[in-house]
Amino acid sequence: MAEHTRVYGVHAVRWLLKEHPERVRRLWLQTTRDDARTEEIASLARAAGISVQRVDGRKLDEWTEAASHQGVVADAEPSRGWSEDELYAHLDAL
């Protein structure tokens, strides 16, 4: 399993910071992004003690292979897989 993964996009990173901040190691925001959504993401990261760095958008393009990162990229631990029993237990609880 990979030691880390890149999660990108405003909604994906915001969800990760709200639901599993312990998985996020670092957060990068595009230098030209300065709006309410990215400020909320930066605030969530800082509250969780996560380093936030501003970088050029071209660097984010390289890291995400030019995918639509929306100026927001997180370095995170991958989610662990679920066993079949865990999955059924979770579905039963819904």
Give the Cα separation of 67 and 8 in Å (integer): 9
User: Which letter does DSSP use for residue 47 in this model?
Assistant: H
Q: How far is CA 4 from CA 1, 32, 67, 80, 81, in A?
A: 9, 26, 18, 11, 14
Does position 35 have pLDDT exceeding 80, yes or no? yes
Q: What is the pLDDT of residue 66?
A: 66
For the whole model, what pTM was predicted? 0.82
Instruction: Identify the residue whose tokens are 């929306």.
Output: 70
| Residue 72 DSSP SS3 | strand
Q: Per residue in 52-92, pLDDT tens? A: 999 999 999 998 886 789 999 999 998 878 888 888 888 89
User: Which letter does DSSP use for residue 25 in this model?
Assistant: E
